[in-house]
Every structure is written in structure tokens, then in C-alpha cells.
Amino acid sequence: MITIYGIDSLLDANKAQMSDVLHGCMSRVLGLPEDKRAQRFVPLDRSNFYYPGGRSEQYTVIEISMIAGRTEATKKQLIKEIFAAFERDLAIQPVDVEITLFEQ
């Protein structure tokens, strides 16, 4: 399960492409099949989304819940892949992407 938070107007405008980018990363690194796309987008009004200094309005929070057992190397590869894909495909700089992995 992936939950994505961001400012509503920006998140809604990029939701479909962001979904494809994230699932592509999950497929390449973790081998997830196309029908295993479990994502939730949580668009927030600007007044309800505070973010750290030095970040832009494109600041996006990604929370990934996965079954425990993957190696540290695999988890690092996934994070690097998401940063690179967001910059390449969505023009969102790595400084504007926060990724948290939760293992179940």
C-alpha cells in the first residue's frame, strides 16, 4: 500500500502520471505485477499541509507499507529509483520528496 500526500491542486494535476511513475518503480525494483497497484492519494488544502523550509509547493510525502524481509540494498534501491523517477518524469526535485518505508 502506498499513500501519497501533497497540496491538492498540484497532487490532483499529477495524480495519474505519479501513479504510473510510482508503480513503475515498484515493478522494476520489487517485481510487482501491474494488477498489484495499491495506492491512495491524499490531497490536502494548503492550510492543512505544512512542510519543512527549503521545500517548494511540490513537496510530496510518500508512505510505503510493505511486508518485512526485503534487504537494505533493495529498500535503498527503491528509494533511489523513486527520487530519480520523480525528477526525470515529474520534474519534482528529490528535496521535495519525502519517502517513508513501513515494514509489516
pLDDT tens-digit series, residues 48-58: 999 899 999 99
Cα–Cα distance, 55 to 7 (Å, whole number): 13
Sequence-ordered list of residues with C-beta below 8 angstroms from that of 11, at least 6 positions apart, any chain:
4, 5, 18, 41, 42, 43, 44, 60
Please report the pLDDT score of residue 34 as a whole number.
85
Cα–Cα distance, 37 to 54 (Å, whole number): 32
CB atoms within 10 A of CB 22: 21
Cα–Cα distance, 67 to 30 (Å, whole number): 11
pLDDT in tens, 45-98: 999 999 899 999 999 999 999 999 999 999 999 999 999 999 999 999 999 999
CB atoms within 10 A of CB 62: 20
Decide: 42 and 3 in contact? Cβ < 8 Å.
Answer: yes
pLDDT in tens, 18-45: 999 999 999 999 999 988 889 999 999 9
Please report the pLDDT score of residue 15 as a whole number.
95
pTM higher than the cut 0.85: yes
Q: Is 4 left (phi over 0), alpha (psi -120 to 50) or beta?
A: beta
pLDDT in tens, 1-15: 999 999 999 999 999
